[in-house]
A and B are shown apart, each in its own frame.
Chain A
Amino acid sequence: AQSVSQHNHHVILSEAASLELGCNYSYGGTVNLFWYVQYPGQHLQLLLKYFSGDPLVKGIKGFEAEFIKSKFSFNLRKPSVQWSDTAEYFCAVNSLMDTGRRALTFGSGTRLQVQP
């Protein structure tokens, strides 16, 4: 069974600091990869996704992520965070090899707190 690990459970940064959130998954086949964000009091929103092609993907609000197949990783980055980036971030994987399996497997999330 596939699993997703987010090693940073709680990250505190000052505004303008750079951000990198780790995500590793355990499946060896072809995968679709996602980052979702949940702002306080709001529902899960898609930040970015990787299906194929350029392993460096850009999402909304200046976020990007890099898929490194050899490391089974899909880390999220942002060069300069803002107070409004305070939220919980979830990495998710959809394995394409499990016949009929379309559900996402999520990591446990990283709570980002940006201090002004």
Chain B
Amino acid sequence: DTGVSQDPRHKITKRGQNVTFRCDPISEHNRLYWYRQTLGQGPEFLTYFQNEAQLEKSRLLSDRFSAERPKGSFSTLEIQRTEQGDSAMYLCASSTTSGRDPDTQYFGPGTRLTVL
């Protein structure tokens, strides 16, 4: 039973560069979420997908952020023109709307982004 996976686990970039993260959800899960976590805080919601449709975006998700889930399976989160304030752990979670464990989100290990 594979859980949620994320790639890369760590990313160091220079300010102004673009970065892209990938998330592979649990295989039968139709919902996929992105969160951001900074030191000493709980995760904050960024956006979520049901299948390939992006259904909700937080106001935290500035125009420099874009997320896709083209075939309703894996998702990517891109940050353009990174800023030092983007440094954080980016978490992905997935859940299902049916089956024996609906509406319970399971989290991946995260991608830690450091912007120099």
Write out the residue numbers on chain A whose beta carbons fall within 8 Å of the beta carbon of B45: 103-105
Number of CB contacts from chain A to chain B under 8 A: 55
Q: How far is the CA of A107 from the CA of B43 in the complex (A)?
A: 8
Q: How far is the CA of A103 from the CA of B104 in the complex (A)?
A: 11
Flag whether B91 is at the interface (Cβ < 8 A): yes
Chain A nearest CB: distance from B52 CB in Å? 16
A102 to B103, Cβ gap below 8 A? Answer: yes
Write out the residue numbers on chain B whose beta carbons fall within 8 Å of the beta carbon of A32: 103
Chain A interface, number of residues (Cβ within 8 angstroms): 24
Decide yes or no: A43 and B43 within 8 Å by CB, A100-B55, A103-B48, A103-B56 being known contacts: no
Report the stretch among B16-24, B68-76, B105-113 that lies at the interface.
B105-113
- Residue pairs across A and B with Cβ atoms less than 8 A apart, 21 shown, are A34-B104, A42-B109, A43-B91, A43-B110, A44-B43, A44-B91, A46-B106, A51-B103, A90-B43, A101-B56, A102-B33, A102-B50, A102-B55, A102-B95, A103-B45, A103-B58, A104-B35, A104-B43, A104-B105, A106-B43, A109-B42
